[in-house]
Every structure is written in structure tokens, then in C-alpha cells.
Amino acid sequence: MSSAISPRSRPSEPGLDRRSVLAGATAGLLVAALPARAATEPSPELAQLIARITEGAVPERARITLDIPALVENGNSVDTRILVESAMTEADHVRWIHLIAEKNPFPDMARFHLGPRAGRAEVATTLRLAASQTVTAVAALSGGGFVMTDADIVVTLSACIDGG
Amino acid sequence: MSFNARITMPAEARAGEILEIKVLTRHPMDRGGQSDGRGGTVPRKILNRLTATYAGDQVFRMDMHTGVAANPFVSFTTRAVATGDIVFEWREDGGATYTRTSRLTVT
């Protein structure tokens, strides 16, 4: 009938077997890895940083893409590209794009000022990240609105680790 | 380590074409705050601004803080409007400025 290694030969008592322990541990790890906050709700500190640069306005989560690696080996130089969907005309263009790293010693990293002559609202740069954190990009539109997006980054080697 | 910049962009473009300009700068971007060994701290010395001027207007400006990497790379776009120089100017903490120009021929 069933051999010693077949699944049917496993003990049938309802105690903790190896497989269920492993499954439970994996599920636990997955839950622990999920960010504590809801995906669309920035932390209070980050919300404050965003409100400071948008002068209180709440940015919309749309039309902006932040291209940044999810796992960074070296936080001293992180390739980042930001693209905002915009016609870039005199009437409708992106005024600026601001990058925030909430856990850097100075969270404001850079601001790109663009105008209708840019043709396309696309910029790229290299950043320094001090820790694993959420990087946020906020763009100001000529109509007075703001759009934002963010990305969770895991940094293996932090920038700013040499005392300082 | 002295300042140097490498600007990569097409030498010529058709009018109305959007071109990508890539700028790689050699600069330590010293964020400051480290001990100088004599009880003080090293002052911050970074490039804090890059501007690009083309055909009479400033077409791009980037304000940089300590969150920008050493030897920063920057890429941006502009629409070709007229044959002329694109002037790049960096401003360093302490007031020093560095300027480079790159010629664009518009056909």
C-alpha cells in the first residue's frame, strides 16, 4: 500500500507537524514584512514633510512614476528616475518635482524645477539613502495641484555610516 | 578632487524634438558634520544648484541637498528650439560657480 515516504504514511494525529509549523512561520514572516501602515496612508512624519512642501495641500496619487530599485546594495548612490504624465504646455505643465527620504538626516533630497520647454517631465539622478525607508516624489502642477508617489526601499549598506 | 563634468547630449536635433541631456559631475558632495580631528566639524560642501540655460531662458534647475550622491548624475529633457549654446552652471557651497557650455545645432 503506502510506502514509508508517501504522504499517506504521515501520522494522522492533529498535533504540530513539521509542515504546518513551517507554513505558519512563513505566513508570520510575510505578515511581519508587510508595512505597518496602509499602502496609501503615509506615516505622520512623512505626511508632515509632504504638507510642508505642498503648503498643506494633499497630493493626489496619480500620473507620476518613481523608478527606483526595491533592494539597494549601496545607499551611497541609488539610481532614480521620475516621470510625470503631463502635456508640458504653457497651460498645463509640471512646475517642480521634489524628492523626500523620510529617514535621511536631511529628508529633502532634491528639487527639479521644470517648465513647458522641458518637453517631457522626466528627470533622473543618483541619491544617497541613509536607511531602508520610503522614498516619496511630489510634483507640483501648473494648475495648482500636486501629485505624489512613493516606493519602499531596502538599503543593505547605508550612506552616512562613517560616524558623522 | 577637482570639479569636472561630462555632458552627454546630441550635437544636432530637429526643431521641436525632445532631447535628453545627461550630466555626470565629479564632485565629492561632502555632506559635512564629520570630525576634523581638532574638536571641530567639517563644513558641508556640496553643489547645491545646477541650472541649464538655453535660448535665453532657464530650462532646468535642480536644487540639491545632502541626499544627492557624490559624483551626481542628472538627466533631464528639453525641446530643441534654436541653434545655440546650452549653458550649465553649478553653484557650490561657499559661492564658487562652475560653468560648462554645450553646442546644439537645430536643423
Residue A59 lies in a domain: yes
When CB atoms are compared, the residue of B65, B73, B77 closest to A126 is B73
Q: Which domain holds residue A72?
A: 41-157
With contacts defined as CB-CB under 8 Å, which chain A residues touch B30?
none
- Cα–Cα separations (whole angstroms), residue B81 to A6, A85, A91, A132, B8: 74, 22, 19, 42, 18
Residue A13 lies in a domain: no
- The number of folded domains in chain A is 1
What is the pLDDT of chain B when averaged over all its residues?
94
Residue A5 lies in a domain: no
Which of the pair, B25 or A34, is modelled with greater confidence?
B25
- Record the pTM: 0.81
A137 — pLDDT class (breaks 50, 70, 90):
very high
CATH number, residue A55: 2.60.40.2470
Backbone angles phi, psi at B72, to 5 degrees: -70, 145
Nearest chain B residue to A135 by CA distance is B67
Which of the pair, A36 or B17, is modelled with greater confidence?
B17
Nearest chain A residue to B22 by CA distance is A124
- Checking DSSP bridges between strand A146-157 and strand A71-74, what pairing results, if any? parallel
Q: What is the mean pLDDT of residues A16-29?
A: 63
Indicate if the pLDDT at residue A21 is higher than 50: yes
User: According to the model, what pLDDT value does residue B97 have?
Assistant: 96
Residue A17 lies in a domain: no
Whether residue A78 and residue B69 make contact (CB cut-off 8 A), yes or no, is yes
Residue A30 lies in a domain: no
Residue A8 lies in a domain: no
Task: Write the pLDDT tens digit of every residue in B32-82.
Answer: 888 888 999 999 999 999 999 999 899 999 999 999 999 999 999 999 999
A28 — pLDDT class (breaks 50, 70, 90):
low
Indicate if the pLDDT at residue A34 is higher than 80: no
Whether residue B60 and residue A114 make contact (CB cut-off 8 A), yes or no, is yes
Instruction: State the smallest CA–CA distance between residue B90 and chain A in angstroms.
Output: 14
With contacts defined as CB-CB under 8 Å, which chain A residues touch B24?
none
Q: A–B: how many Cβ contacts below 8 A?
A: 105
With vertex at residue A156, the alpha carbon angle to CA B67 and CA A133, rounded to the nearest 5 degrees, is: 50
Residue A3 lies in a domain: no
Instruction: Check if the beta carbon of residue A10 is closer than 8 Å to that of residue A17.
Output: yes
Residue A71 lies in a domain: yes
**What was the ipTM of the complex prediction?**
0.93
Indicate if the pLDDT at residue B1 is higher than 90: no
